[in-house]
Amino acid sequence: VSVVARRCVVIGTGMIGASLAAAAKQAGVVGHVVGVGRSSANLETARRRGLVDAVSQDPLTAVVDADLVVLATPADSAVDMLGALAAAAPPGAVFTDVGSVKEPIMDAARSCGLESRFVGGHPIAGGTTSGAEGADAALFRARTVVLTSTDSTDPTAIARVRSLWEAVGARIVESSAGRHDQLLALTSHLPQFVVFALCAAVARAAEAPSAFFGSGFQDTTRLATSDHEMWLAIARLNRGPLVDRMDAFADVWTSLRKAVADGDDALLLAILREARIGKERSKT
């Protein structure tokens, strides 16, 4: 195992950031790992659990001698703070992130002169826990991580970020940022908004006793309590692709409603068969 970074700074020690820090330490691919966050309680949890070697509440000081900077804050904060971090870090430091939307952060990297050293990352892994308390060094095993780069990205920067994720067990898929954002709007953001709408419809209806909700509803709506801040940021950062997917969903909904209202079994069956095809496509 070759060392990917001697001094790795993880900005944001939530569930994803702290899990990556711990997994990379466990795999022996990073030397010293500093976790940076705002909440001293969460940082203390990260240190107590041994997920990081040191903690800091000051990102600009923490990155001064970093050779790898991982942004694991909410995606909009990462976009906002990248310029200042780039200015504070050594000129050779490689940057990566874990955000769910990739075009805005790739654009920010280009704007602040980081294009050759910034490799976008998005682990398609999540959970119902949050914070360093929910961190798990095994979180990324057999999970997909999408890496995004441009023609200007230094191949050695890509190789280092790839090595980091491979060392923690992830499967790497490379993509352009634009294609990533189009695809995730379909595979992740649309389902999340469908769940939000379904549960909001339940709230707006005259109250139904909880006994009438079965396990099907519970599974379908597991995502309903996902973090609001995160999803406001995703909606803002991936607006165009998400609105397109929402409109496409509305078209399907209109057909389905028509099939039910008209008692059109042929149309209804055709949509149910499409649903089976869509579900099959999603299976790895």
The answer to whether 140 contacts a copy of itself (rule: CB under 8 A) is no
Q: Are 249 and 271 in contact (CB under 8 A)?
A: no
Report the C-alpha gap between 1 and 29 in whole angstroms: 7
The answer to whether 187 contacts a copy of itself (rule: CB under 8 A) is yes
Residue with smaller CB distance to a copy of itself, 81 or 173: 173
C-alpha 209 chain-centroid distance = 35
The answer to whether 267 contacts a copy of itself (rule: CB under 8 A) is no
The answer to whether 58 contacts a copy of itself (rule: CB under 8 A) is no
SS3 145: strand
**Smallest separation (angstroms) from a copy of itself to the CB of 36:** 26
**Smallest separation (angstroms) from a copy of itself to the CB of 261:** 5
The answer to whether 142 contacts a copy of itself (rule: CB under 8 A) is no
In our burial notation (b when 16+ CB lie closer than 10 A, e otherwise), range 155-168 reads: eebbebbbbbbbbb
Residue with smaller CB distance to a copy of itself, 150 or 220: 220
Residue with smaller CB distance to a copy of itself, 48 or 257: 257
Question: Segment contacting a copy of itself (CB under 8 A): 45-53, 61-69, 153-161, 184-192?
Answer: 184-192
The answer to whether 155 contacts a copy of itself (rule: CB under 8 A) is no
Residues 14-33 that bind a copy of itself (CB under 8 A): none
Residues 92-131 that bind a copy of itself (CB under 8 A): 124-126
Among 88, 171, 174, 176, binds a copy of itself (CB under 8 A): 171
Residue with smaller CB distance to a copy of itself, 2 or 282: 282
235: its two tokens: 């909606």
DSSP class of residue 149 equals -
The answer to whether 173 contacts a copy of itself (rule: CB under 8 A) is yes
222: its two tokens: 């597991």
Report the C-alpha gap between 159 and 167 in whole angstroms: 12
Question: Segment contacting a copy of itself (CB under 8 A): 64-72, 129-137, 151-159, 216-224?
Answer: 216-224
In degrees, rounded to 5, the angle at the alpha carbon of residue 199 between the alpha carbons of residues 193 and 200 is 85
**Smallest separation (angstroms) from a copy of itself to the CB of 28:** 27
φ, ψ for residue 153, nearest 5 deg: -75, 135
The answer to whether 223 contacts a copy of itself (rule: CB under 8 A) is yes
Q: Are 238 and 184 in contact (CB under 8 A)?
A: yes
Nearest to 203 by CA among 225, 181, 170: 225
**Smallest separation (angstroms) from a copy of itself to the CB of 122:** 10
Positive/negative CA dihedral, 177, 178, 184, 185: positive
Counting every residue written for the chain, the total comes to 284
Question: Segment contacting a copy of itself (CB under 8 A): 68-76, 110-118, 159-167, 231-239?
Answer: 231-239
